[in-house]
Homo-oligomer: A and B are copies of this chain.
Amino acid sequence: MRELRIALLGAGTVGGGLIELIQNRAQALQARTGTEIKITAVADRSHRKKAFLQNQSFDVSDDAISVIERDDVDVVVELIGGLEPAREWVLHALKKGKHVVTANKALLANHGKEIFAQAAEVGREIGFEAAVAGALPVVRNLRRVWVGSDMHEMFGILNGTCNFIITRMQKEDMAYEDALKIAQEKGFAEADPAFDVSGRDAAQKLAILSTLAFDHLVQESDIRVEGITELSPLDHAMAMRMGKVIRLLAVAKKKSDGYHLRVHPALISSKHLLASVEEENNALFTDDPYSGPTMIVGRGAGAFPTASAVLSDIAAIARNPEGQPEIWVSGSQSMQCASDASYRFYLRFRTLDRAGVLAAISKVLADHEISIATMHQEEGPEPVDVVIVTHGARESKLASALDIINAMEIIRAPTVALRLEEPGQG
């Protein structure tokens, strides 16, 4: 029996899940891969406090560098997260001729260029299925299954925290803060949820998927990000009245004027497949002229789902340890990001209920070539909500118009602007 020897850097939730998964499924893994997948060494700074690391067949150490450099290690699995020392360790492992598997989305979305180049130089595999959407097979599928694809648009629901909050708000007519609290109680949101609810987590994942789909290195800084913190129950109710639902979408489009890469809450048809993605689930919807519209949906986080994805990368190396590594960035495209885009917008203005308010708002919109499709005002105590849905409008024009409108004395809160997306209709 061939063997593949693993060093694990970081034995937290996912690392612990991986150890358990490899041990529980040892027999099936041997039968399915023809290889014994064997953990040789684990580096974890607090290993003395972790009962599951005691009395194991592998060595345990504080010292990541010496673990990386061991001769009896073929693959280094980096599960410590963050930028440093993860970057240093991953590069060091590649330089020492080890394959690397990582679940670190921040690392690849910010230092992808350096890491992919190093892997290519040494001819070693860098696997990162677990960096995007946990157990969902989206990373390899983009390069392997849809290998001939000519992807023009992708829509992801890539952050389970946001999707949980949004669908709870939608289904239970709940305020953002209340839904966030439930998410925190259930362990779907951190005590400080900013990284998730701001859309940044989804943006790092979108950078990775766009890199694969478009054959061109995309980094986190290329992506425009808007979060979900300003959503209100009224937005969900209005969306429903329009036959739509709100989701935090990670959107990547290739158009004649460049890439359009955005993370933002958007209204989509309630009949679209993406509308069926609820609670903490993740999903990726792709529409390629060859494969057609396709969606993958499931668990985007958690110890075992993420460990499963890590294991799939390890198994891919097990089958072909000395073969040609995956070409992740083929670089045949060289488009830039588009600076502007046209969308239909849902706008919610929070205003005093005075004569002339609608006239004032409408005039500013008209001055910026933004045409109103529908308008709705709720009755109630001041300030009131006025909802306008526009025809197609430039983002840049809308931004200018909202600068003026938000400065008006009658406007009592920053205007909420949500895009209408039509996945698969582009």
Contact = CB atoms under 8 A, between A and B. Distances in A.
A291 B298 contact: yes
A330 B147 contact: no
Interface string A289-308: 11111111111001011011
A241 interface: no
A319 interface: yes
A276 interface: yes
A292 B304 contact: yes
14 contacts: A21-B148, A21-B290, A22-B148, A28-B150, A28-B332, A32-B330, A137-B141, A137-B145, A145-B309, A145-B312, A291-B308, A292-B304, A294-B296, A319-B320
Interface residues of A, number: 59
A319 B324 CA distance: 6
A136 interface: yes
Nearest to A275: B276
B31 A331 contact: yes
A143 interface: yes
Contacts of A129: 145
Given A136-B294, A147-B311, A297-B297, 18 more contacts: A21-B148, A31-B330, A31-B331, A32-B143, A32-B330, A137-B137, A137-B146, A140-B145, A146-B308, A146-B312, A147-B312, A149-B308, A290-B304, A290-B308, A292-B304, A294-B297, A319-B326, A320-B320
A65 interface: no
A179 to B, nearest CB: 19
Given A148-B22, A308-B146, A327 B33 contact: yes
Prevailing SS type, chain A contact patch: mixed
A234 interface: no
A135 interface: yes
A28 B307 contact: no
Q: What's the number of copies of this chain in the assembled complex?
A: 2
Contacts of A147: 29, 32-33, 311-312, 315
A354 interface: no
A149 B33 CA distance: 13
Contacts of A149: 25, 28, 308
A135 to B, nearest CB: 4
Contacts of A288: 308
Contacts of A290: 21, 25, 135, 304-305, 307-308
Contacts of A136: 294
B148 A308 contact: yes
A316 interface: yes
A27 interface: yes
A353 interface: no
A82 interface: no
B330 A304 contact: no
A322 to B, nearest CB: 8
A273 B297 contact: yes
A215 interface: yes
Given A31-B331, A32-B330, A215-B28, A304 B291 contact: yes
A323 interface: yes
Interface string A1-38: 00000000000000000000110110111011110000
A324 B2 CA distance: 11
B148 A25 contact: yes
A272 to B, nearest CB: 9
A320 B32 CA distance: 17
